[in-house]
Amino acid sequence: MQKVDFSDVKPVIFSCEGLALSDAEKNFFAHEKPLGFILFGRNVETPKQVSKLATDFRQAVGRPDAPVLVDQEGGRVQRLKAPHWYKAPSFGTLGAIYNLDPDKGRRAVSLATRLIAVDLTAVGISVNCSPCLDLSLAETSSVIGDRSFSEKPEIVAELATIVCDEYIKAGIAPVIKHLPGHGRGAVDSHIELPTVDASMEELLTSDFVPFKQLSHMSWGMTAHIVFEAIDPEYPATQSSKVIEDIIRGEIGFDGVLLTDDLNMNALSGTLGHRAKLAQEAGIDILLHCSGKLDEMREVAAACSPITDEIIRRIETGPSAIAPVSTEAEIDQMKEELAELLALV
């Protein structure tokens, strides 16, 4: 396989405003050459349209394997929706099946992930921002809620491993999130900055456990959360103490480290300032999701050059695409999963 030239690539993920690229967007992407792109509901209509948009993204930057990302977890976080795509259950529902019968729970997780993978590979999406490894605790904000498998770290780790393994088999890079844990965040980081006062001992034996067990994964996303026991000043996304000491050190994650969306209100200051702080703290890839051209210009201007270390991490991700399942196999998987879901 021919080696990709990353020398002029910017370590940032962008989006677009609509269902197709405008000429201005094409010109901007061709000039700035972001590493990849992410899709949201505003970018999704039909399989044919999404497939063309993914192709157009890649053509704009001149890299046929440029990552195209989406958030397709299941439950309420699905950008590709019915009737064109499978309506997958939430992780909370799958965790509930596991609580009734672990074997059936594991099977349900496997089937749901395979069905999502079929949809993603069919339209050219190569990276899925899933699974959430956050715990479901008494104080957990509803922004996580049933996006979590369980309050028990060992169950989260077990089921998330199945999710990751199924995506990797399909040639899709999973993104473990939100490092080093969003479960103790009592407010929605889209709206305000959560602050966690748990001790390091508590975090080491709970929130960090699933991430440590899946630290070998190739992509991860940070949380916009302040951990007072580690760095009372900066949220994880912009904290060198959290990134270097905890995510890279204690947890041992050596994959591509992606910010959560820079537009979220948990972060403060201009977009350029937010981007600069994140990169100085040790973030590999910036994520900017609004698709607004003026905002993307600001982020691109603040973006540091890609490094050899970031390139090494990018090149370790999945590449082989698994054979596409037949319609009969897909129908059989849906039928079996429906029977398992009936348990809860």
Is 190 assigned a catalytic role? yes
Catalytic site residue from 119, 134, 207, 260: 260
Are 225 and 194 in contact by the 8 Å Cβ rule? The answer is yes
CA distance linking residue 23 with residue 84, whole number of Å: 28
Numbers of helices and strands, H then E, in the chain: 12, 12
CA distance linking residue 332 with residue 87, whole number of Å: 15
Supply 304's token pair.
């540091």
Catalytic site residue from 56, 84, 188, 190: 190
> What count of other Cβ atoms lies within 10 Å of the Cβ of residue 254?
17
The CA–CA distances, whole Å, from 333 to 100, 109, 119, 238, 324 equal 20, 11, 13, 42, 14
Supply 70's token pair.
């989406």
Give me the helices (H) in the chain, please: 23-32, 47-61, 91-100, 102-122, 153-169, 200-204, 208-213, 240, 271-281, 293-302, 308-314, 327-341
Are 129 and 175 in contact by the 8 Å Cβ rule? The answer is yes
Residues identified as active-site: 190, 260
